[in-house]
């Protein structure tokens, strides 16, 4: 499948996932579709909580589904992530950090509208240029 068609399909799947969001407080529904290295797609939608800090973003739901699906490697690598919302928004800082754990710096992040139209793309390294990762833990001195 040509790259543009793949991006459009992923954006459409994120828009479809958005319809499953649980957002009774903010009414801000977000859908995400994470594509992994073997071509599998994992969908997520945001789930709010009356205590807003306990809300889980759609992006993290999709990525964590990819990581925790039985029979899959714990090092599943997300190669692309589409996010659909109105108004369109990029993943938050926490979602970017989760991507840094489970995607390479070249992971393509696709910004889509609620209809699933691709608006913009950026790599994870553009969105989070100095990501914190496991390598920082390995070099720290033990006390």
**Could you confirm whether 59 is annotated as catalytic?**
yes
pTM (2 d.p.):
0.90
The pLDDT of residue 61: 97
Task: Categorize the per-residue pLDDT at 38 as very low, low, confident or very high, splitting at 50, 70 and 90.
Answer: confident
**Per annotation, catalytic residue among 9, 59, 101, 141:** 59
Contacts of 32 (CB under 8 A, 6+ apart): 14, 17, 43, 44, 45, 57, 58, 59, 61, 62, 63, 81, 82, 83, 84
Provide the CATH topology of domain 3-131. Cytidine Deaminase; domain 2 (3.40.140)
């Amino acid at each position: 499948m040509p790259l543009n068609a793949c991006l459009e399909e992923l954006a459409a799947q994120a828009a479809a996932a958005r319809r499953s969001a649980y957002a009774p407080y903010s009414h801000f529904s977000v859908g995400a579709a994470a594509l992994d290295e073997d071509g599998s797609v994992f969908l997520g939608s945001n789930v709010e909580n009356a205590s807003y800090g306990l809300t889980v973003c759609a992006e993290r739901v999709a990525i964590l589904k990819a990581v925790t699906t039985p029979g899959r490697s714990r090092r599943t690598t997300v190669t692309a992530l589409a996010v659909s919302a109105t108004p369109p928004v990029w993943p938050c800082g926490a979602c970017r950090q989760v991507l840094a754990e489970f995607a390479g710096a070249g992971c393509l992040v696709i910004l889509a509208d609620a209809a699933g139209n691709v608006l913009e793309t950026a790599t994870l390294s553009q969105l989070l240029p100095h990501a914190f990762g496991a390598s920082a833990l390995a070099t720290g001195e033990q006390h």
